Chains A and B, each alone.
Chain A
């Protein structure tokens, strides 16, 4: 009995219908969940014309919301950059007791619901909270003011840089650092000349993620903000506020600003990627 050998398929070759099906599915998915909402945001924002749109985003309250959003990100990102680098450095390059606890703690802010994070701040820093009486005695305002919003944002975006940098540092091991040390470099030199260049791409990506989340954070900030118009609203809160005011054009206009910020972040990421690749190629 001779058997006709079955036609062997190349591992890289898929049937044509599978290719088409997958592509169509991906396009539909992207269109439905990404492009359509994006178009809807700008459509809603421009529903009453360009003049209404410009009027909406030039409101003093809108400008304050933009300022506060950028302020919160301007604090959260550098703080978490320092923290993220320090903690990844400590965790990947050194052995010490309690290391796994530290790793778990870094993950905490993404594991906990942002609303709970916000409530924790209220319970800590509210006038009835643990530190409340001390803050009141020293006339310091944290909750329902800008410092609380910055703190909540920083807390929620805590893990983004550390979690990006840590795996890269881990995969690179400590050989290069040890080589540098044995050649007589001091700690700072090792850090600036060996460790940092090695993780720079992960770092940039972490910063971008952190920034995106810092500007978009809603839950935790919502709890500590009290939504005072023209004072403690960030852009995401301002969107909700206008929506609840039945000011749909205003809400979409504010949402379009957030979308615009997100697009800027994406462009920054692409530029950073291009730049890093180019400088790597130069090596």
Chain B
């Protein structure tokens, strides 16, 4: 009798194992039918102030992609100064898409052979689904009476902006300042003189736009922040209503932050189709609404008309004033360029 028990146990174990063998394939097939809807993963390498926009847009796009294909898509974000992000992509950061602050930073990725040199023609509006401009953020009541570009170079006015060598917004700010003076005086030496006086009033050069905003808002340094329009609104909305005022200067620059698929990376990940659609969908009505709500200027004329009240209409010059990004970069921000001369003359 005693030796029957172990046998029984053995049999029951065997039965259990057999049962598992029968059940398991079923379990596997159940799993398979669940995982039939794939999860696609995309990496979007972006510049600093787009954190909130893409957080919301990624949800919107995920819903759209699911309804269209049944697949899940999860988008991982990386944010930082635009120039720094571009360098990281060139050094091997595997971005399926880049959504940077300015065309030159994507040109650099293209010249590294990672994407098509003609990338800017692949999507409408120079591949920039939204635009913005540079405005001033001042403290409540505008105690230093900052109204326009001329006020920034007054002695005793402390200006916060990021380093144009690393930050995209900072480069737009620099060029906005230069252009504002140049369109008035048509003289490059005058503009140079102005830029010199302007950066003399800058106590800290952070590496990206978000760093400057934190310096201005959290560390309470400076009288005026040269800022992306969207970032200025965000700071106003999120970090103390009524504590800041936005001053729109009489003229500024049309900033066109472009987007593109990094062909080589997307091809190696097998994500070209979803990456392309991810960027194309930025031009759709719901995405443009989201863009406008996040204080970026939408491209869609109907959405733009609906949000007309949100954006001040001022004359905007484009990067063409500087002969395009390649020339602007070379003249102003390359090593030994005008910005280096400005810094050297201040120190």
Contact = CB atoms under 8 A, between A and B. Distances in A.
A231 interface: yes
Contacts of B91: 122, 126-129, 132, 143-144
A244 B214 contact: yes
A44 to B, nearest CB: 13
Interface string B92-113: 1110000000000000000010
B294 interface: no
Give the size range of B's interface with the partner: 20 to 34
B163 to A, nearest CB: 15
A226 interface: yes
A227 B90 contact: no
Contacts of B238: 246
Given A122-B91, A144-B92, A245-B51, A229 B78 contact: yes
B92 A132 contact: yes
A126 B80 contact: no
B318 interface: no
B76 A226 contact: no
A141 interface: yes
Contact of B92 (A143, A229, A231): A143
A227 B239 contact: no
Interface string A101-144: 00000000000000000000010011111001000100001011
B92 A228 contact: no
Nearest to A142: B92
Contacts of A144: 88, 91-94
Interface in A191-229: 226-229
Nearest to A143: B92
B43 interface: yes
A229 B94 contact: no
B210 interface: yes
Contacts of B211: 244
B76 A229 contact: yes
B121 to A, nearest CB: 26
Nearest to B239: A246
A279 B176 CA distance: 71
Nearest to A123: B91
B79 interface: yes
B79 A141 contact: no
A141 B90 contact: no
Contacts of B93: 143-144, 226, 228
Contacts, number: 55
B329 interface: no
A228 B43 contact: yes
A243 interface: yes
Give the size range of A's interface with the partner: 20 to 34
A143 B211 CA distance: 24
Contacts of A122: 91
B220 to A, nearest CB: 15
Contacts of B210: 244
A55 to B, nearest CB: 16
A122 B93 CA distance: 11
B214 A229 contact: no
Contacts of B80: 226-227
Contacts of A128: 90-92, 112
A20 to B, nearest CB: 37
Interface string B101-138: 00000000000100000000000000000000000000
B142 interface: no
Contacts of A127: 90-92
A228 B90 contact: no
B72 interface: no
B169 to A, nearest CB: 14
A132 B92 CA distance: 9
A226 B77 CA distance: 10
A141 B238 CA distance: 38
Contacts of B43: 228
A226 B80 CA distance: 8
Nearest to A231: B76
A202 B52 CA distance: 48
Nearest to B235: A246
A122 B90 CA distance: 11
A243 B93 CA distance: 23
A128 B52 CA distance: 32
Contacts of B94: 141, 144
Interface in B37-91: 43, 45, 48, 51-52, 76-80, 88, 90-91
Contact of A228 (B51, B76, B112, B214): B76
Contacts of A136: 92
Interface of B: 43, 45, 48, 51-52, 76-80, 88, 90-94, 112, 210-211, 214, 238-239
9 contacts: A126-B91, A127-B91, A127-B92, A128-B92, A132-B91, A143-B93, A144-B94, A246-B238, A246-B239
Q: Which 10 A-B pairs have the closest CB atoms?
A: A126-B91, A127-B92, A144-B93, A226-B93, A228-B78, A244-B210, A229-B77, A226-B88, A228-B76, A126-B92
Given A126-B91, A229-B76, A230-B76, 14 more contacts: A125-B92, A126-B92, A127-B91, A128-B91, A128-B112, A129-B91, A143-B93, A144-B88, A144-B92, A226-B88, A227-B79, A227-B80, A229-B78, A241-B79
